[in-house]
Every structure is written in structure tokens, then in C-alpha cells.
Structure 1
Amino acid sequence: MAERQTADGTVGKALEVLDMVASFERPVRFSEVLEGSPYPKGTLYRLFQTLTNQGMLSFDPDRQTYGLGVRLVRLAHAAWQQSSLAPIARSYVDALSETTGETVHLAQLDNAQVLYLDKRNALKPIEMYSQAGKVGPAYCTGVGKSMLAFLAEDEVARVISQQSFHRFTEHTLTSEAELRADLADIRAKGFGMDREEHEPGIICIAVPILTPRGRVLGGLSVTSTTAQKSLADLAALAPQVQATANSIAVEAQNWRFPDQATDTTRTGT
């Protein structure tokens, strides 16, 4: 097997290995990762050894399996505290879920995907894919589209170019043209919707969390099911969701995510 080239060198390869191990969502044997790895056995083994020595992977000698290491837990906690909206937004997410009685999601964009930072279940919890720490597609989730709609055009183009446009349901947007039309509608209305685009029966209303200069900090959504609510019911919550997003943005602006003078004006602001 020819060794894959990466512009980020050994560090980039090591991070890819961590992603591969994490993707199994369970302890994994070296041979399982090797089967789907782009790297030769020797290179992959050296990366495993380095990551284990550094505490980024843990090794169970009895089961001969690898898992994510506790050092990653410490780093993840630090990232959550320093770079995430979650600590700032917690009380607002709590209040919005309590007053609406619905499931509330807080998210940020992670490259071309949606990273769910926090979630509060409805009074009657519903089964769905999203959980804090999981990533989802940007093109077919309400919170993803609401953030994407307010990015600068070059960022919009970059993110769209990385979307798979896989059809999850009969309502999924499956082309750039469809997505861009929806983004234009979101900019006009100020909020987006998931019309059963990612999961059957799951609908939501979502808004971006924007700084005064229009920089996208994250997104906020209220989610329900077609058995419990209609899209019109959720749309009626738009002012309340937007007010919550604005409150989060003000606190984030004051304490952790100030606008810089070099920021450029975003599309739709």
C-alpha cells in the first residue's frame, strides 16, 4: 500500500487515526483500524504507539484493544470551557426548553458539519439522532442551515462543496441549487426549518446566534415531531427562539467571543 501524503504531516496523520478509532464508538483492535486505514501497517503501528505513549489512546492488554485516552478527556473539557458556547448558553437553553416544553439544541459549525454542543429534552422526550458531542450534516438540519445562511459567501461555498447531499428522507435537499434557495429564504425570514429532512417525523425551527457584526457563533433550535406539532406551531416560536439567541450572543460577545476589527460583514446582515 502506498503511503498517503498529507500536508499536515505526522500531526495530521495522528489526528486521522484518532478520528478512525473514535468512529467505532467502542474499544477497537489494531487490525480493525488497519483494514480501513490509508496508511501502511508499519506507519499505522508507529502512530498507535506514539498516541498511546502520549495518553491520547489507551491500550487494554487483556483484550488487545485500543480506546480514546483520558488525556483527550482533559483536552475536550478545556475546549468545551474555552471555545464552546455551551457554558455561556446553558441557562438560556434550560429556560427555552422549560418555557416551550420542547427539545432544544445548541450547536456550532465544525468545518462543514454541525457539532451539537448541548441538548435539553422535551417534557416528553423523543428519540432522535442528535446528542451533545455528535456531529451531523449541515445541509439537512435546521440548525445547520440557519448557521450556513449567515456565513460570508466564500465560507458558504466552501461548506457547500463539502456536503454529501445524501438523501436521508423523501424531504432531504439533494442539490446545491435546492440548498441555496432554502438559504435565501432563511436569510429573508431570519430562521430556518428542518422539514423532516434528516429524520422522518422530526421537525424543528432554528436560528443563528450572531454577533452585532454578523459573525456566526452558533445556532439554536427547538425540535418536535410531526405527531406532536406542526411546522406552523414551531414557526410561531420564532420570536422566542430569536430572543434567546440574541441573549446568548450578547453574553458571548461580552465574555468570550468579541468581534475583531478585521471582521467582514456577513451575507444577510
Structure 2
Amino acid sequence: MQTTKSIPAIERAFAMLEALDNSSQSMNIAELSRKLDIPRSSAHSIALTLERCGYVTRDASGRNCMLSMKAYRLGREAAPAGHLADAAFRPMKALSTATQLTAHLAVLDRDQAVYVQKVQGLSLLRFDTHIGKRTNLHCTGVGKVLLSYASQSYQEKYLKQAPFARYTRNTITTASALRREIAKIVKQAFALDDQEEELDVRCLAVPVVSARGEFIAALSVSGSMAQLQDDWLPAGIDLLQKTARQIKPLSGLDMTRDAS
């Protein structure tokens, strides 16, 4: 049987897309060159081609690459996350309007949270998030919910990665502290990112379950400390939980990839 040779340039292009997809941060050409183990000139040419085709975009600095919305939409309709995002948009829009906070919906993919829907709040505070962006599990509201409702075996595997990266003085960095946080989140059915990833920012998150009672995603609202004050949290939790119950995607969707 004749064997057809692969095309190295195409392999490298897809490797670059996968590298950007697996990163929670944008990456510059030097970083992509090291990650893919290819010359910097080759990394630059591939990134430029992908950018011209619309699958890669640049951040505000113009130096770093990240996946574009076109890359995310490429497989969105075929993916369960697409159905979930569509089902969540109207409830999230109402939630954001009622609270004037930014609403996020995230699912678990490997060892990170991935935003699959976002509704920007009306306040002046803007978040550097977008659909398809990855974020940490140990220090974000959606991440801690996703981790807390994953399987026991997944949790233990994740906890072995400790110590976790510290972003503020409030960041949970040890396995023992994160294990206690997981137990608390499951008991109270919500998670609070209390300036754990960014100072003066709070994120309140709750689980989203399917019509069959299966955990599928995490829903959150994010804002400043002034917006998410302690005395507002009980009302915020109630509103988030009501919104989560309104999100009803097609039944049987597995939104917790590699969470077993």
C-alpha cells in the first residue's frame, strides 16, 4: 500500500494552533519557536499566515498571538460546547443586565477552564477574557467549581500539581488548602474567587447541571470588590442559581473533558 507523505508546514501550523489553544496566555514568536522547536523565522511565517487567514490574532501589544474567534467558531457547531453556549446566552444576558456584571460560562478541558460564553457587563470594568480563552482552576470562580464537581480521581491527579502559581496574597497554592476549598464549595454549592487571581476583583460562580442532573459547566459573574460586596453575595448566589437552572442544552452532553 502506498504511503502518502505528510506536509511539514501544515503539521507545524496545526501544532501552533494547538499550542495557542492549550495556553491560558497569549504567546509571542520566541515562545512559539521554543514550544514547537522550530526556527523563529518559521514560527513567524506560520503565525503570519494563520493571522492572514483569520485563525490567529494579536493582543493589544501587537506582539503576542492568540486564537481568534474564527478559530473557535470553526468547530463550534459540531461541539457540545456550542449547543451549551447557545442555550446559555439569553439567561446570561438577563443575568448581566440585572447585575450589571460580566457573566461567564466555562467548561473543563484537560487541566484548565475554557470560556464558552461571555456577556459583558454594563459597568466600566472590563475583563481580558474571550470565548475560547483558557484559565486556571485553582484561583478562579469557574475553575474552582469545575474542579470541585469533577471526579475524585481527577481532583487527586490535579492536586498533585501543587504548589500552584500565586497571583495575589489570596491565591490558594497548596494541595491541602485547595482540598478544603473543594469540600466547602461542594457543601455550599457555590465558589468565590476573592481577589485570588487579580486584586480588587471578585468572581462568584455556581454549577450548571443538565436536565438529567449531570454537572456540565460553571456559571459566574465578575466585578470589583465594590460591586460584589459581602452583603450582596446571598442575593447574587440566588440569582446565579436561578439563571443556571434556565440553561438547558441538549441532554447528554459531556462538558467535562478529561474530568474522569
TM norm. shorter chain > 0.5: yes
Task: Work out which of the residue numbers 73, 79, 100 in structure 1 matches 2:75.
Answer: 79
| 2:183 partner amino acid | A
| 2:228 partner amino acid | K
CA distance in 1, matches of 2:155, 2:99: 31
Equivalent runs, 1:157-236 vs 2, <5 Å: 157-162=156-161, 165-211=164-210, 214-236=213-235
Map Cα deviations across residues 111-140 of structure 1 (whole Å, 9 max, x no partner): 111112222222213133333332111110
| 1:258 partner amino acid | G
Structure 2 CA distance for partners of 1:188 and 1:21, relative to 1, 3 Å: closer
CA distance in 1, matches of 2:217, 2:107: 4
CA distance in 2, matches of 1:155, 1:21: 24
Map Cα deviations across residues 29-49 of structure 1 (whole Å, 9 max, x no partner): 6x7743x245355xx95x999
CA distance in 1, matches of 2:151, 2:19: 31
RMSD: 3.6
CA distance in 2, matches of 1:241, 1:38: 41
- 1:148 corresponding residue in structure 2: 147
Once the 2 structures are TM-superposed, how far is the Cα of residue 19 of structure 1 from its aligned partner?
4.2
User: Tell me, what secondary structure is at the counterpart of 1:197?
Assistant: coil
Structure 2 CA distance for partners of 1:205 and 1:21, relative to 1, 3 Å: closer
Structure 2 CA distance for partners of 1:230 and 1:74, relative to 1, 3 Å: closer
CA distance in 1, matches of 2:142, 2:101: 15
- 2:252 corresponding residue in structure 1: 258
CA distance in 1, matches of 2:203, 2:137: 14
Structure 2 CA distance for partners of 1:199 and 1:40, relative to 1, 3 Å: closer
CA distance in 2, matches of 1:13, 1:235: 49
Provide the TM-score with structure 1 as the length reference.
Answer: 0.71
CA distance in 1, matches of 2:20, 2:149: 34
Once the 2 structures are TM-superposed, how far is the Cα of residue 166 of structure 1 from its aligned partner?
1.0
Within the alignment, does 1:137 sit opposite 2:133 as a pair? no
Map Cα deviations across residues 217-265 of structure 1 (whole Å, 9 max, x no partner): 21100122113331341232212211211221xx21xx2x4169xxxxx
- 1:3 corresponding residue in structure 2: none
User: Tell me, what secondary structure is at the counterpart of 2:78?
Assistant: helix
Once the 2 structures are TM-superposed, how far is the Cα of residue 15 of structure 1 from its aligned partner?
4.2
Relative contact order (C-alpha < 8 Å, sep 6+): which is higher? 2
8 Å Cα contact 1:112/1:162 also seen in 2: no
Once the 2 structures are TM-superposed, how far is the Cα of residue 141 of structure 1 from its aligned partner?
0.2
- 1:112 corresponding residue in structure 2: 111
CA distance in 1, matches of 2:112, 2:52: 22
Structure 2 CA distance for partners of 1:69 and 1:125, relative to 1, 3 Å: same
Provide the TM-score with structure 2 as the length reference.
Answer: 0.74
Once the 2 structures are TM-superposed, how far is the Cα of residue 58 of structure 1 from its aligned partner?
5.1
**Any stretches of 5+ residues in structure 1 without a counterpart?**
1-9, 60-65, 261-265
Once the 2 structures are TM-superposed, how far is the Cα of residue 21 of structure 1 from its aligned partner?
6.4
- 2:97 corresponding residue in structure 1: 98
Equivalent runs, 1:9-88 vs 2, <5 Å: 15-20=14-19, 33-34=32-33, 36-37=34-35, 39=37, 41=39, 59=49, 67=51, 69-70=53-54, 76-83=72-79, 84=81, 85-88=84-87
**Any stretches of 5+ residues in structure 2 without a counterpart?**
1-8, 57-68
Q: Rg: which structure is higher?
A: 1
Map Cα deviations across residues 78-136 of structure 1 (whole Å, 9 max, x no partner): 43233222112111110111122222111112211111222222221313333333211
Structure 2 CA distance for partners of 1:121 and 1:76, relative to 1, 3 Å: closer
Structure 2 CA distance for partners of 1:131 and 1:160, relative to 1, 3 Å: farther
| 2:114 partner amino acid | L
Number of equivalent positions: 233
Map Cα deviations across residues 167-190 of structure 1 (whole Å, 9 max, x no partner): 100100011111110110010001
